[in-house]
């Protein structure tokens, strides 16, 4: 799943200098999980930055064309995400 994010991720952390990251790829960690449609809620995902811009044209990628930068969780609603976040606040 290709997503556009705001605010952008600071690119300097990834050796990109002043170029910030505004697009990411989300991918399910297992073969049984899907994102089109989302097969389970909440849904764990790999979060990867695009290393090779040809991914944007081909809509496919290999391991060398992206870099895993985080794990994430997709929630059905913003409220569900906020409810979980509240559990970790002190």
pLDDT in tens, 11-67: 998 888 899 999 999 999 988 899 999 999 999 999 999 999 999 999 888 889 999
Q: What pTM was computed for the model?
A: 0.85
Whether 28 contacts 34, CB under 8 Å: yes
The domain limits of the chain are 2-87
Residues in the chain: 90
Cα-based distances in Å from 54 to 29, 45, 50, 59: 23, 22, 9, 8
């Amino acid at each position: 799943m290709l997503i556009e994010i705001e605010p952008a991720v600071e690119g300097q952390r990834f050796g990109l200098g002043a170029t910030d990251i505004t697009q990411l790829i989300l991918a399910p960690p297992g073969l049984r999980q899907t994102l089109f449609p989302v097969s389970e809620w909440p849904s764990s995902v790999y979060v990867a930055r695009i290393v090779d811009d040809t991914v944007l044209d081909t809509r496919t990628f290999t391991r060398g064309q992206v870099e895993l930068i985080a794990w994430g969780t997709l929630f059905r609603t913003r409220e569900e995400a906020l409810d979980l976040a509240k559990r970790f606040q002190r």
